[in-house]
Amino acid sequence: MNLIGGKMAQMVDVTNKPNIYREAIASGEIKLREETIKKILNREIEKGDVEAVASVAAIMAAKDASKIIPLAHPLPITGVSVNFSYDKDKVKIVVKVKTKAETGVEMDALAGVTAGLLAVWDMCKQYEKDPNGLYPNTLITNIKVENKIKKEI
């Protein structure tokens, strides 16, 4: 019995759906201080290579999206790519996820982008803190699905 009165949560049954090629591209941005962006580009971040760590975080999150999104299906991910671009005060991450499965990989791509952006924040947080230990200039924004492909194999 559901005590809230609504419908119980359930995973969508994809048993009868065919395995087809699916791809999703998601992106997001993190706003940082210009000085922090320069440190990333000059490989001066004390914790290490920001792109390397954020890439691994994005790939791991894409592969494990069903562990953090309650009703997402665990999928056989066949490929994940992570790309970075920079503005004077932003880092943009684009994650592409591929599979041959019964359902799409949008949540996996979004999880990858989100984890990648959080890894950038973690790698750079010491340069972003104000005197009170807060992050007034740091902001994760514009997380979205850019594209989705679904086609017969």
Q: Which residues are catalytic?
A: 122
DSSP state of 140: E
Identify which of 151, 149, 148 has the alpha carbon closest to the alpha carbon of residue 26: 148
Question: Which DSSP category does 148 fall into?
Answer: E
In angstroms, the CA 43 to CA 59 distance is: 21
58: region left, alpha or beta (phi > 0 left; psi from -120 to 50 alpha): alpha
DSSP state of 102: S
